Structure 1
């Protein structure tokens, strides 16, 4: 993609000196990210100070903007970094928490448009964030998934996000409703996109002999995606709502994961924490890790969630493990099987061979025969869901 520019970059970064040189290039390849265009921006000032950031902009194709409801989701993601994260950190500090949450990239600036007269999102909207790759964070290959140690790091981050959100909602509901809740809007994909993906799903399940014992159950899966069920209290909280391999970056030292960062909060919602836990576990773990450790990792997440709630002086009885299991059962049966198996389509899709990001359309995703890795992952999910009575 040529001629990449960000107008008024100096104003966005609010630098004390003028920019002498800027280098901008695409950060992710087509097929690795669909809901936005990610750019690496290297800035050199007149005094040779260097700053490396990531610029997130709208996807160039209007059809992709429509699919991801960009006027709403981009506004919400700006608010996540600009308003929600500072609100949650301030709440922690107020309760004497010394090690506040650190699961997101540093925020450098944003705008909805060039005019700043309203919050209407247009093609000049941009969100500037820390370049996590410069800080040593990397993405794991999406078709392989996370090992056990990395999975625990990310589940701990999710427990922080969910737990602080629950505590703020319970203890300072006015602040939660003013500064957090308005930006947690569920995304409903266009009906034609779901019809397309449902057709692909049905074709795939009929092509895998190992799924034959489950076919009748799989054909009865409810694909009514008009909108998620209403969130249930008291568990409802801030949900990342898209926590899969590409949306978690990891720093490794001597081959061991030591830190993680969650990215891409554009479709965050007010929903059950169980949605994030199930979606992450079944979409993003190595198959052997999922089979051996699924129940243990669910326990690990819950222990961390309770730890966050205790630290923030919440009554934890309503959030006991038996009640959380009910959340898991509900979301597994009503939302997360469909969400997860459909997500396998882009996870295991080959990198798109297009000349320009603007060429990508919703129907381009997953227009290939399922790979062996895709089919094996689907078998694992079906068997594990069936074993727990979720399908």
Structure 2
């Protein structure tokens, strides 16, 4: 074994009778800046079977070594919740689809191999030995896009379609089987870690950034005031599971002839019970190319809505409350709350790769002191103008 260590790895995977792990190699998977909330390792496992050896290429998601990151992400809760998403929630949603005769159930999630909260193997506290073992998507020819560039139209369509299904299936379950939703899913839909303390520390940076962009100087007070809007009460009837972290690095796509044909959505650390519009707004304005949004924003919203309604109808839901106008109202409501989320996320998106600290060394000071690039300034200007145009700030 080389690289990092995973204790008792043999206990993590249920291989079946007659199969045995005979070798495994572990190495660091992600470069600094690709993942902030977890330590990611590649795990290549050789399994002996009755007919020969087979290989399992996996990714081990580990508790971050930095106490600073653990505090930001509320790791004891969010790591538990992410395990529950793969182990409990996803199978419930897929079974619910199958009960309605759906053949193409949710499949934009990595394959789950096994997990634990601690070495005791119980349902106790998450500790440093917690592991979530998933399919290694890079080996399966999935790739991430450049976080500073964002997605083109084809990729945006693929992702927005999957997002619509991701939101609609649990919503349908809530409507048809509220007892199951309340008992089996709601306990894990805790609110995500609060950004408010970090936002307060970043306000001076935002103020300084505005001062460097001539077009925004007259809007300084308006922009800073918009940072006061960070949360609201849950609004029915659209409320469902919200991923809550839909940015470039949390999507991996498989390409054929340069075109995206399949999307996998990862990183279910901070999902919660909230508006689907949270994910729509955050994804579009943090992770889609500016020129695509300028030309195709309305098209992407319509595509989302068409898919959302089609999924609800497939699951035999009454769709009367979910009109297109109601969705637009929901987006307009959440848009006013997502400005902070989007502009906050521009810092890790545009941090120069040469300045990104290893996850073990990350702290608040190191995250605040990187250079603001010209690309960051252009994106910030674009976001401000787009949010003003929609009367969201």
TM-score, normalised with respect to structure 2: 0.95
Aligned match for 2:165, one of 136, 160, 168: 160
Q: Name the counterpart of 1:364.
A: 366
Question: Cα RMSD between the aligned structures?
Answer: 1.6
Aligned match for 1:173, one of 154, 168, 178: 178
Taking the TM superposition and a 5 Å limit, the aligned residue runs for 1:1-391 are: 3-15=3-15, 16-46=18-48, 47-189=52-194, 191-223=196-228, 225=230, 228-333=231-336, 335-351=337-353, 353=355, 356-391=358-393
Moved more, 139-148 or 19-28: 19-28
Q: Is the 8 A contact 1:75 1:119 kept in 2?
A: no
State the 1:205 CA deviation: 1.6
Q: Is the 8 A contact 1:237 1:270 kept in 2?
A: yes
Q: Is the 8 A contact 2:252 2:264 kept in 1?
A: yes
How many angstroms apart in 1 are the aligned matches of 2:368 and 2:298?
31
Q: Is the 8 A contact 1:105 1:263 kept in 2?
A: yes
Q: Quick one: structure 1 residues 307 and 213, their matched pair in 2 at CA, closer, same or farther if it must change by over 3 Å? A: farther
Partner of 1:278, secondary structure, is: helix
Q: Is the 8 A contact 1:32 1:351 kept in 2?
A: no
Q: Is the 8 A contact 2:227 2:339 kept in 1?
A: no
Q: Is the 8 A contact 1:198 1:223 kept in 2?
A: no
**Gaps in structure 2 of 5+ consecutive residues:** none
> Per-residue displacement from partner, 1:5-46 (whole Å, max 9, x unpaired)?
111111101234332221111111122211101111001134
State the 1:350 CA deviation: 1.6
**Gaps in structure 1 of 5+ consecutive residues:** none
> Per-residue displacement from partner, 1:345-378 (whole Å, max 9, x unpaired)?
1000122657853111233224223111111111
Q: Quick one: structure 1 residues 135 and 388, their matched pair in 2 at CA, closer, same or farther if it must change by over 3 Å? A: same
State the 1:212 CA deviation: 2.7
Aligned length: 387
Partner of 1:99, secondary structure, is: coil
State the 1:215 CA deviation: 2.2
Q: Is the 8 A contact 2:229 2:340 kept in 1?
A: no
Where do 4+ consecutive residues of structure 1 move more than 6 Å?
A: none
State the 1:298 CA deviation: 1.1
Q: Is the 8 A contact 2:3 2:28 kept in 1?
A: no
